[in-house]
Amino acid sequence: MINRPTIPGSFQSPFICRQCISLISSRINRRYISSRRRPDKQKLPNFPARTRFAPSPTGFLHLGSLRTALYNYLLAKRTGGQFILRIEDTDKKRTVPGATKRLYDDLRWAGLQWDEGPEVDGPFGPYKQSERTDFYSEHARKLLDNGHGYRCFCTPERLRELADHRSALGIATDYDRKCAHIPEEEADERAENGEPFVIRLLAPDLYPEWSDLVYGQIGKQSLRSRTGESAWQDPILLKSDGQPTYHLANVVDDHLMNITHVIRGTEWISSTHKHQALYNAFGWEPPVYAHVGLLVDGNQQKLSKRDRATDLAFYKSNGYFPETVVNFLALLGWSHQEKSDFFPLKELVEKFSPKFTKGNATVSFGKLEYLQTKYATKRINESGAGFDEIVEQAVEAARQRYQRFADSHPDFHDYIVKVIKADVNSFKTVPEFIHRNAHFFEPLPYETSKKPLSDASLAPQTIGGEIHAELDKIANDVWTHENINDAVQKTVQQLLDKVQPKHSAKLKGKVSERIHRYLRVALADGSYGPPNITTATLLGKQVVLKRLNGAAIEDKCKDVEDWWKEALSEDAGSLDSIRHIDLAPKPL
């Protein structure tokens, strides 16, 4: 018969509720941690790290879980090690159909290809927990043999009654270790006779201390109830159906797969004490742990659906690049000394170290938008595979929304390429690009309805006609950016020469700015996008002339001479001070 460790008797003390125990314990731990010196630097290991990402297919990948995968991937790649994917799929009731397949697709979309795991295989497979039940049964048996585990035959009814009794007393609903006293021979016989049982860990009174890369030394922790009744938190390791709980499967798999480092969220810190006890029970060396803060909003609340964080599909379907999302996530909890936050995945690997910030990470989506613009510019300027992907997505999206224009345009694909390149300084995502640049694909309202311009103080009357006349002089085969710009500048110069031949450069600049404001509304309905001359070049001569004509409305303002007199008078001060005047152009 195996000599089991002595099972402590009940601990007699005045009643203390679980909430107080937790509060006292956390304060003791904080004092313990603060009394120990944290490492000065969170250095890279001097050996290849083996890390893992172990999601459960009970939902789809969200920002927090992708960040966990990313940090583990970066540490493995930075040290020349291996990144392992392991699927923890033992909870069949909560498994979401299709979640595993989409998980693979999402990781690959983000560029996080695993070295070992499903669809790749490796020397420590299988990599799905549902296919590893023999490992868990074998190791649960080892705990029985070495006295660190015991069979519990208590029925669900007894456990419920025990919990109800303890709850009525206002104390923690822990287990009373009734079955821990059963002799080994009796427990074996009852199991062989088919009596249902679970296997529990015979937890120590004090869970061992351990060191975290982020939070330093974590002191010993007691999970034993400090009440007048005997009770211990002996976690279940193997359920009655033979399936492991998270604690057993996690520890066994990490050990058998030679995992050296585990990076995960701070919500798992409380479980790490149990894991350390399990490692000690097996006589194994635990991996190095690094617990990173949760992702929270500006109010320090965990991100919700309103924060677009529950499903990576949002970012994929709305045109965000994988390099944008990966770069964005890397910055949420990772500390670096570089001057820029712009890190493509290759550079992240080169710069990475396990230097994480303490506490939760506040998510600012402004940084996401900034990075998206930077990566869009990079893709467009490089004209490589990334740019081709943008073009194909834009062509498909524009064709779906502007089918009539696409069918009538002989070089629709090339036209999209030109518009994207012209919009390089404003491009963010394909959906946003298609919506914002609608004026390149469909008529403006005033082209057909004679709708008045949205800004009636853009230029003195007849300006539309004068620009129209100058642009109409340009032949179709020389409708170029340079010639269009010359025509517009000529109009500005002619107007100034008529009114004040000896004008200042400042006045010319103001008039030119006012005329370009008019062109912005006439050509693009005032929307933000490529510059006016570039817009006119892409639209083509016929469309530009038609829009200049359609933008004209009835004359409701003073004549040109009166307008200029007021504009140049001492009372007016500058052109910007006369916005009360209706400056719309005459009909052409």
Q: Which of 113-122, 357-366, 534-543 has the lowest mean pLDDT?
A: 357-366
Q: What does the mean pLDDT of the chain come to?
A: 83
- In this structure, the answer to whether residues 121 and 252 fall within a common structural domain is yes
Q: Which of 111-115, 351-355, 573-577, 579-583 has the lowest mean pLDDT?
A: 579-583
Of 246, 276, 305, which residue is a domain's last? 246
- In this structure, the answer to whether residues 460 and 574 fall within a common structural domain is yes
Q: Please tell me the total count of domains within the chain.
A: 3
Answer whether residue 121 is part of any domain.
Answer: yes
Q: How many CB atoms lie within 10 A of CB 557?
A: 18
Phi, psi of 53 (to 5 degrees): -120, 125
- In this structure, the answer to whether residues 529 and 561 fall within a common structural domain is yes
Q: According to the 3-state scheme, what is the secondary structure of 499-512?
A: HCCCCCHHHHHHHH
Give tens-digit pLDDT for 336-371. Answer: 989 999 999 999 999 999 999 999 998 888 999 999
Q: How many CB atoms lie within 10 A of CB 427?
A: 24
pLDDT at 499: 66
pLDDT band of residue 434 (cuts 50, 70, 90) is very high
Answer whether residue 525 is part of any domain.
Answer: yes
Answer whether residue 541 is part of any domain.
Answer: yes
- In this structure, the answer to whether residues 192 and 209 fall within a common structural domain is yes
Q: Which of 480-489, 522-531, 555-564 has the lowest mean pLDDT?
A: 555-564
Answer whether residue 261 is part of any domain.
Answer: yes
Report yes or no: 221 and 207 within 8 Å, Cβ to Cβ.
yes
Q: How many CB atoms lie within 10 A of CB 292?
A: 25
- In this structure, the answer to whether residues 487 and 517 fall within a common structural domain is yes
**Residues involved in catalysis:** 305
- In this structure, the answer to whether residues 286 and 137 fall within a common structural domain is no
Instruction: Tell whether the model's pLDDT for residue 416 goes beyond 90.
Output: yes
Segment 389-393 mean pLDDT: 97
Instruction: Give the C-alpha separation, 322 to 328, whole Å.
Output: 10
- In this structure, the answer to whether residues 478 and 525 fall within a common structural domain is yes
Answer whether residue 433 is part of any domain.
Answer: no
187: left (phi over 0), alpha (psi -120 to 50) or beta: alpha
Instruction: Tell whether the model's pLDDT for residue 38 goes beyond 50.
Output: no
Q: Can you name the residues that pair with 175 across neighbouring β-strands?
A: 232
Residue owning tokens 């001479």: 561
Give tens-digit pLDDT for 439-473. Answer: 999 988 766 655 554 444 444 446 677 888 999 99
- In this structure, the answer to whether residues 240 and 254 fall within a common structural domain is no
Of 225, 246, 267, which residue is a domain's last? 246
Segment 25-52 mean pLDDT: 59
Q: Which of 41-45, 210-214, 452-456, 548-552 has the lowest mean pLDDT?
A: 452-456
Give tens-digit pLDDT for 300-318. Answer: 888 765 666 678 989 999 9
Which of 38-47, 225-234, 576-585 has maximum average pLDDT? 38-47
531: DSSP letter: -
Instruction: Give the C-alpha separation, 51 to 307, whole Å.
Output: 29
Sign of the C-alpha dihedral computed for residues 555, 558, 559 and 564 taken in this order: negative
pLDDT at 170: 76
Q: Which two tokens stand for residue 406?
A: 């696409």
Residue owning tokens 């016929």: 542
Report yes or no: 430 and 394 within 8 Å, Cβ to Cβ.
yes
Query: Between 47 and 170, whose confidence is greater?
Result: 47
Phi, psi of 97 (to 5 degrees): -55, 135
Return the closest-CA partner of residue 321 out of 331, 332, 329.
329
pLDDT at 27: 41
Instruction: Tell whether the model's pLDDT for residue 484 goes beyond 60.
Output: yes
Instruction: Give the C-alpha separation, 450 to 30, whole Å.
Output: 72
pLDDT at 6: 39
Answer whether residue 102 is part of any domain.
Answer: yes
- In this structure, the answer to whether residues 253 and 221 fall within a common structural domain is no
Segment 548-573 mean pLDDT: 50
pLDDT at 228: 52
pLDDT at 253: 98
pTM for this entry: 0.82
Segment 287-304 mean pLDDT: 88
Q: Which two tokens stand for residue 291?
A: 């617990």
Instruction: Give the C-alpha separation, 527 to 510, whole Å.
Output: 21
Q: How many CB atoms lie within 10 A of CB 7?
A: 12
Answer whether residue 380 is part of any domain.
Answer: no
* Alpha carbon distance, N-terminus to C-terminus of the chain: 106
Q: Which two tokens stand for residue 44?
A: 């890279």
CA 460 vs CA 467, 507, 551: distances in Å: 12, 15, 14
- In this structure, the answer to whether residues 106 and 228 fall within a common structural domain is no
Answer whether residue 364 is part of any domain.
Answer: no
Instruction: Tell whether the model's pLDDT for residue 516 goes beyond 70.
Output: yes
Q: Which two tokens stand for residue 566?
A: 């007021």
Segment 136-160 mean pLDDT: 96
Q: What element of type H or E holds 164?
A: helix 156-168
- In this structure, the answer to whether residues 110 and 139 fall within a common structural domain is no
Q: How many CB atoms lie within 10 A of CB 296?
A: 18
Instruction: Give the C-alpha separation, 523 to 302, whole Å.
Output: 45
CB contact burial 101-124 (16+ within 10 A = b; e otherwise): ebbbebbebbbbebbbbbeeebeb
Report yes or no: 49 and 75 within 8 Å, Cβ to Cβ.
yes
Q: Which two tokens stand for residue 49?
A: 């790290």
532-539 vs 505-524: helix crossing angle, rounded to 10: 40
Query: Between 207 and 48, whose confidence is greater?
Result: 48
Report yes or no: 81 and 48 within 8 Å, Cβ to Cβ.
yes
The percentage of the chain sitting over the pLDDT mark of 90, rounded to a whole number, equals: 61
Q: Reduced to 3 states, what is the DSSP secondary structure of residue 216?
A: strand
Instruction: Give the C-alpha separation, 584 to 463, whole Å.
Output: 8
pLDDT at 207: 86
Characterize the bridge pairing of strands 361-362 and 295-296: parallel
Residue owning tokens 């601990």: 11
- In this structure, the answer to whether residues 233 and 116 fall within a common structural domain is no
CATH code for the domain of 146: 3.90.800.10
Q: Which two tokens stand for residue 34?
A: 């603060």
Segment 89-118 mean pLDDT: 94
pLDDT band of residue 510 (cuts 50, 70, 90) is confident
Give tens-digit pLDDT for 229-286. Answer: 566 789 999 999 999 999 999 999 999 999 999 999 999 998 999 999 999 999 999 9
Instruction: Give the C-alpha separation, 478 to 336, whole Å.
Output: 53
Characterize the bridge pairing of strands 198-201 and 149-152: antiparallel
Instruction: Give the C-alpha separation, 334 to 344, whole Å.
Output: 15
Residue numbers of the domain that contains 272: 50-125+248-296
Report yes or no: 558 and 583 within 8 Å, Cβ to Cβ.
no
pLDDT at 585: 37
Give tens-digit pLDDT for 378-387. Answer: 999 999 999 9
Instruction: Tell whether the model's pLDDT for residue 206 goes beyond 60.
Output: yes
Report yes or no: 275 and 250 within 8 Å, Cβ to Cβ.
yes
Q: According to the 3-state scheme, what is the secondary structure of 536-581?
A: HHHHCHHHHHHHHHHCCCCCCCCCHHHHHHHHHCCCCCCHHHCCCC
Segment 111-117 mean pLDDT: 98
Nearest 5°: CA angle at 369, between 366 and 372? Answer: 150
